[in-house]
Structure formats: structure tokens, C-alpha cells
Amino acid sequence: MINRNSAVFFCGLLATPGMALAHSPVKGLDSFYNGMLHPVFVPAHMLLLIAIGLFIGQQGAKEQQLALVLFVVATIVGLTVAWFSFGIEIEIFVLGSAALIGLLIATSPVVGIFWSSLVAVTAGFFLGADSTQEALLGKEKLFTLLGSGVAIYFLLLYPMALADHFKKKEWHKIGIRVIGSWLAASALLVLSLSFVSK
């Protein structure tokens, strides 16, 4: 049985604050792998990646090849901005984009290639621009951003393929729309909490 002093000591250790960075590298991993894990460890990035992937897949992956290419180009531009930026906070835009795209998925409108490309460009740019990690400089920062770019592209493909596969039957489409509404609700909840805390 745990005695009272040990329990108090353990709770005290848990409550001890440490250095917190919004985008910090994982100790023990090299820069490229840190970059690859970065979108997975940032919930706002995952929300937006799932949302944009589902949106493109919902519209039809074959029909949205241009949107996919423009997403990649916009991500590269965003990563370039991240290379030159110094701690610019744009997570609000990432969450706002996730909420809007989630609402688009939930309402399931058929949009033209221009509008879907515009949505893809916006999402790609914000994901890239918000990928900088404050603690890194020089070569480490470059390889981290390269890893983030690779991960962003591959993490987009999974929800896109899922939505494209499940658009054949009506009840499958409803499931994708429900996921879109959850994404929008989650992003809006985090946004509202961030505004309240400020």
C-alpha cells in the first residue's frame, strides 16, 4: 500500500512545471523524424489535415488532382515562410480553416475545381507556415521542415482515400459528413477556449 507521504511527493512532481513550447522537438530523435512527427503531435494540424483530406476525397480524388498539386505547392510556400519566420502564431487560422472545411464536409456541397483548389491552397499554406519549431535553427530547422512537408503530404492521403472510397453508398457519405461535423465542432471548441483563456 502506498503511504501518504509518497503520494504527496508524487503529486508534487506531477505538478512541477517544465518548459513548454507550442512546437517543440522530441528529444532523442533526429531533425527529419522530429519534423515528420510534428503534424501528428499538434492537434490543430491533425484536425486540418483530416478535414482537407476528407474534403478533397468527398469531391472526388480523380477530379481534384489540381487541388492536390496546389495543396503541395502551397505547403512548400508555407514551409518557406516558416523557415524565415520567428514564432509567428497562426494556429488560430489553422483551427479556423479546419472548422470551415469541416462545415463544408458536413453540408457536402458540390464545388468547382476553382473553389476546391482555393480551399486546398489555404489549408496547405497554413499547415506549412505553422510548422516551425522555436527551439531549432539552421540545418536542424531545415531538415525538420522537410520532414514536416513529407508528413503533411502523406497524412493528407489517408483521409482523402477514405472519403473517396466511401462515396459510393449514401450511408457511407453520411458517415463522412458526420466526421466533418465533429471536426468543425472540435475546431470551434478549441478556438472558443483559446479566446476565453486570453
Q: How confident is the model at residue 13 (pLDDT cuts 50, 70, 90)?
A: very low
Q: What pLDDT was estimated at residue 56? A: 92
pLDDT digits (tens, 9 = 90+) for 133-143: 666 567 777 88
Higher pLDDT, 3 or 10: 3
Tell me what the pLDDT averaged over the chain comes to.
Answer: 81
| Burial class of residue 11 (count of CB atoms within 10 Å of its CB; 0-12, 13-18, 19+) | exposed
Confidence of residue 195 (pLDDT cuts 50, 70, 90): confident
How sure is the predictor about 29, in pLDDT bands with cuts at 50, 70 and 90?
A: low
Residue 22 reports pLDDT greater than 70: no
Q: What is the DSSP string of 147-182?
A: HHHHHHHHHHHHHHHHHHHTTSSHHHHHHHHHHHHH
Residue-wise pLDDT for 44-90, tens only, equals: 899 999 999 999 988 887 888 899 999 999 999 988 888 787 556 78
Contact, 76 vs 148, CB < 8 A?
no
